[in-house]
Structure 1
Amino acid sequence: MKTSRRTFLITSVGVASTIALGTRSALADAPKVDENDPTAQALGYKNDASKVDKAKFAKYAAGQDCGNCQFYQGKASDAFAPCPMFSSKLVASKGWCSAYVKKA
Protein backbone atom coordinates (compact mmCIF):
# COMPACT_ATOMS: atom_id res chain seq x y z
CA MET A 1 0.00 0.00 0.00
CA LYS A 2 1.38 3.34 -1.03
CA THR A 3 0.87 6.26 1.40
CA SER A 4 0.43 9.72 0.04
CA ARG A 5 2.09 12.75 1.60
CA ARG A 6 -1.34 14.13 2.53
CA THR A 7 -2.33 10.92 4.37
CA PHE A 8 1.01 10.87 6.17
CA LEU A 9 0.64 14.49 7.34
CA ILE A 10 -2.95 14.02 8.50
CA THR A 11 -2.00 10.88 10.42
CA SER A 12 1.04 12.60 11.96
CA VAL A 13 -1.04 15.53 13.19
CA GLY A 14 -3.56 13.13 14.72
CA VAL A 15 -0.87 11.14 16.52
CA ALA A 16 0.87 14.31 17.77
CA SER A 17 -2.43 15.67 19.10
CA THR A 18 -3.19 12.42 20.90
CA ILE A 19 0.26 12.39 22.52
CA ALA A 20 -0.04 16.05 23.56
CA LEU A 21 -3.47 15.50 25.10
CA GLY A 22 -2.29 12.35 26.85
CA THR A 23 0.70 14.17 28.35
CA ARG A 24 -1.51 17.06 29.49
CA SER A 25 -3.93 14.58 31.05
CA ALA A 26 -1.10 12.78 32.86
CA LEU A 27 0.06 16.09 34.33
CA ALA A 28 -3.44 16.84 35.55
CA ASP A 29 -3.44 13.48 37.35
CA ALA A 30 -0.06 14.04 39.04
CA PRO A 31 -0.27 14.58 42.81
CA LYS A 32 0.14 18.04 44.29
CA VAL A 33 2.88 18.61 46.84
CA ASP A 34 1.58 18.50 50.40
CA GLU A 35 3.15 21.12 52.69
CA ASN A 36 3.52 18.35 55.32
CA ASP A 37 5.61 16.19 52.96
CA PRO A 38 9.14 15.74 54.43
CA THR A 39 10.81 17.23 51.31
CA ALA A 40 8.38 20.16 51.34
CA GLN A 41 9.13 20.83 55.01
CA ALA A 42 12.89 20.60 54.45
CA LEU A 43 12.66 23.12 51.60
CA GLY A 44 10.14 25.35 53.40
CA TYR A 45 7.56 24.87 50.62
CA LYS A 46 4.34 26.84 50.96
CA ASN A 47 1.41 26.81 48.50
CA ASP A 48 1.16 30.57 49.09
CA ALA A 49 4.49 32.44 49.03
CA SER A 50 3.08 35.17 51.28
CA LYS A 51 2.96 32.59 54.11
CA VAL A 52 6.70 31.78 54.05
CA ASP A 53 8.37 32.03 57.46
CA LYS A 54 10.65 34.98 56.66
CA ALA A 55 12.61 34.53 59.90
CA LYS A 56 13.44 30.92 59.05
CA PHE A 57 13.95 31.52 55.31
CA ALA A 58 15.75 34.86 55.05
CA LYS A 59 16.47 34.10 51.36
CA TYR A 60 12.79 34.72 50.56
CA ALA A 61 11.95 38.07 48.95
CA ALA A 62 8.56 39.42 47.90
CA GLY A 63 7.81 38.62 44.26
CA GLN A 64 9.52 35.23 44.36
CA ASP A 65 7.14 32.38 43.59
CA CYS A 66 7.21 29.05 41.80
CA GLY A 67 5.68 30.55 38.66
CA ASN A 68 8.84 32.59 38.02
CA CYS A 69 11.35 29.95 39.20
CA GLN A 70 13.57 28.19 36.69
CA PHE A 71 12.50 24.79 38.06
CA TYR A 72 8.77 25.38 37.41
CA GLN A 73 7.91 23.20 34.42
CA GLY A 74 4.80 25.01 33.30
CA LYS A 75 3.73 28.44 32.14
CA ALA A 76 3.57 31.15 34.79
CA SER A 77 -0.17 31.30 34.08
CA ASP A 78 -0.64 27.60 35.05
CA ALA A 79 -2.09 27.27 38.56
CA PHE A 80 0.01 24.12 39.17
CA ALA A 81 2.91 22.52 37.31
CA PRO A 82 5.56 19.84 37.91
CA CYS A 83 8.77 20.64 39.78
CA PRO A 84 11.89 18.42 39.76
CA MET A 85 12.63 19.39 43.38
CA PHE A 86 9.55 17.36 44.35
CA SER A 87 9.93 14.38 41.98
CA SER A 88 7.80 16.22 39.42
CA LYS A 89 4.81 16.47 41.75
CA LEU A 90 2.72 19.57 41.10
CA VAL A 91 3.57 22.81 42.90
CA ALA A 92 1.44 25.94 43.05
CA SER A 93 2.43 28.80 40.76
CA LYS A 94 1.95 31.11 43.75
CA GLY A 95 4.02 28.80 45.99
CA TRP A 96 7.64 29.06 47.12
CA CYS A 97 10.48 26.91 48.45
CA SER A 98 14.11 27.53 49.38
CA ALA A 99 15.31 25.98 46.09
CA TYR A 100 13.90 29.06 44.29
CA VAL A 101 16.07 30.39 41.44
CA LYS A 102 14.78 33.28 39.34
CA LYS A 103 13.94 32.23 35.79
CA ALA A 104 16.36 33.77 33.28
Structure 2
Amino acid sequence: MKTSRRHFLLLSAGVGSSLALSRAAFAGTVPNALSESDPQAQAVGYTEDASKVDKARFPNFAAGQSCANCSLFQGKAADAYGGCTLFGTKQVASRGWCSAYSNM
Protein backbone atom coordinates (compact mmCIF):
# COMPACT_ATOMS: atom_id res chain seq x y z
CA MET A 1 0.00 0.00 0.00
CA LYS A 2 1.36 3.35 -1.00
CA THR A 3 1.04 6.06 1.66
CA SER A 4 0.36 9.60 0.56
CA ARG A 5 1.97 12.60 2.18
CA ARG A 6 -1.43 13.72 3.52
CA HIS A 7 -2.06 10.32 5.13
CA PHE A 8 1.42 10.32 6.66
CA LEU A 9 0.91 13.81 8.14
CA LEU A 10 -2.46 12.85 9.62
CA LEU A 11 -0.97 9.74 11.20
CA SER A 12 1.98 11.74 12.56
CA ALA A 13 -0.34 14.32 14.12
CA GLY A 14 -2.40 11.59 15.78
CA VAL A 15 0.64 9.84 17.22
CA GLY A 16 2.12 13.15 18.39
CA SER A 17 -1.02 14.17 20.25
CA SER A 18 -1.27 10.72 21.86
CA LEU A 19 2.30 11.00 23.11
CA ALA A 20 1.63 14.47 24.52
CA LEU A 21 -1.41 13.21 26.43
CA SER A 22 0.43 10.21 27.83
CA ARG A 23 3.38 12.41 28.83
CA ALA A 24 0.99 14.67 30.80
CA ALA A 25 -0.49 11.62 32.53
CA PHE A 26 2.94 10.35 33.56
CA ALA A 27 4.04 13.80 34.69
CA GLY A 28 1.37 13.69 37.38
CA THR A 29 -0.57 16.68 36.13
CA VAL A 30 -4.12 16.88 37.35
CA PRO A 31 -6.69 18.28 34.96
CA ASN A 32 -8.44 21.29 36.46
CA ALA A 33 -6.22 21.38 39.56
CA LEU A 34 -6.53 24.54 41.64
CA SER A 35 -3.43 26.70 41.47
CA GLU A 36 -2.11 28.52 44.52
CA SER A 37 -1.92 31.64 42.32
CA ASP A 38 -5.65 31.51 41.54
CA PRO A 39 -7.34 34.62 43.04
CA GLN A 40 -9.98 32.47 44.75
CA ALA A 41 -7.27 30.28 46.27
CA GLN A 42 -5.27 33.29 47.44
CA ALA A 43 -8.34 34.77 49.12
CA VAL A 44 -8.49 31.80 51.51
CA GLY A 45 -4.75 31.11 51.72
CA TYR A 46 -4.91 27.78 49.88
CA THR A 47 -1.66 25.85 49.76
CA GLU A 48 -1.12 22.44 48.14
CA ASP A 49 0.97 21.30 51.12
CA ALA A 50 -0.42 21.90 54.62
CA SER A 51 3.09 21.66 56.10
CA LYS A 52 3.89 24.96 54.36
CA VAL A 53 1.03 27.00 55.89
CA ASP A 54 2.13 30.41 57.19
CA LYS A 55 1.22 29.92 60.85
CA ALA A 56 1.71 33.62 61.61
CA ARG A 57 -0.82 34.58 58.94
CA PHE A 58 -3.22 31.73 59.80
CA PRO A 59 -3.10 31.17 63.59
CA ASN A 60 -6.19 28.91 63.42
CA PHE A 61 -4.19 26.27 61.55
CA ALA A 62 -3.51 23.16 63.61
CA ALA A 63 -1.19 20.27 62.83
CA GLY A 64 -3.03 17.40 61.17
CA GLN A 65 -5.50 19.61 59.30
CA SER A 66 -5.63 19.02 55.55
CA CYS A 67 -8.14 19.05 52.73
CA ALA A 68 -8.44 15.25 53.02
CA ASN A 69 -10.05 15.53 56.47
CA CYS A 70 -12.02 18.73 55.80
CA SER A 71 -15.81 18.47 55.57
CA LEU A 72 -15.75 20.52 52.34
CA PHE A 73 -13.53 17.95 50.53
CA GLN A 74 -15.53 15.87 48.06
CA GLY A 75 -13.00 13.13 47.40
CA LYS A 76 -11.97 10.14 49.47
CA ALA A 77 -9.29 10.66 52.10
CA ALA A 78 -6.97 8.37 50.09
CA ASP A 79 -7.38 10.42 46.85
CA ALA A 80 -4.46 12.66 45.88
CA TYR A 81 -6.89 15.30 44.56
CA GLY A 82 -10.61 15.84 44.91
CA GLY A 83 -13.36 18.37 44.59
CA CYS A 84 -14.09 21.09 47.12
CA THR A 85 -17.40 22.87 47.59
CA LEU A 86 -15.54 26.21 47.70
CA PHE A 87 -13.88 25.91 44.32
CA GLY A 88 -16.57 24.44 42.07
CA THR A 89 -15.11 22.11 39.46
CA LYS A 90 -11.47 22.68 40.44
CA GLN A 91 -9.55 19.90 42.17
CA VAL A 92 -7.66 20.54 45.42
CA ALA A 93 -4.75 18.53 46.79
CA SER A 94 -5.78 16.23 49.62
CA ARG A 95 -2.60 17.24 51.47
CA GLY A 96 -3.50 20.92 50.99
CA TRP A 97 -5.13 23.40 53.36
CA CYS A 98 -7.03 26.71 53.35
CA SER A 99 -8.51 29.02 55.96
CA ALA A 100 -12.01 27.68 55.26
CA TYR A 101 -11.00 24.34 56.80
CA SER A 102 -13.89 22.76 58.69
CA ASN A 103 -14.16 19.40 60.41
CA MET A 104 -17.90 19.69 61.14
Shared fold (TM-score, shorter chain, > 0.5):
yes
Give, as a single letter, the amino acid of the residue that structure 2 aligns with 1:40.
A
Mind listing any 5+ residue stretches in structure 1 that lack a counterpart? Answer: 1-28
Structure 1 residues 48 and 35, CA, compared in 2 at 3 Å: closer, same or farther? Answer: same
Give the deviation of 1:64 after TM superposition. 0.2
Mind listing any 5+ residue stretches in structure 2 that lack a counterpart? Answer: 1-29
- Deviation digits for residues 28-67 of structure 1 (CA, Å, limit 9, x no counterpart): x750000000011110000000001110011100000000
> Partners in 2 of 1:30 and 1:83 — Cα distance?
15
Which residue of the partner structure matches residue 10 of structure 2? none
Task: Detail structure 1 runs of 4+ shifted over 4 Å in the superposition.
Answer: none
Q: Which has the higher helix share?
A: 1
TM-score by length of 2: 0.69
Give the deviation of 1:87 after TM superposition. 1.5
How many matched pairs?
Answer: 75
Which residue of the partner structure matches residue 100 of structure 1? 101
Which residue of the partner structure matches residue 42 of structure 1? 43
Q: Residues 11-90 of structure 1: matches in 2 within 5 Å?
A: 30-90=31-91
**RMSD of aligned C-alpha atoms?**
1.2
Give the deviation of 1:88 after TM superposition. 2.9
Which residue of the partner structure matches residue 11 of structure 1? none
Which residue of the partner structure matches residue 9 of structure 2? none
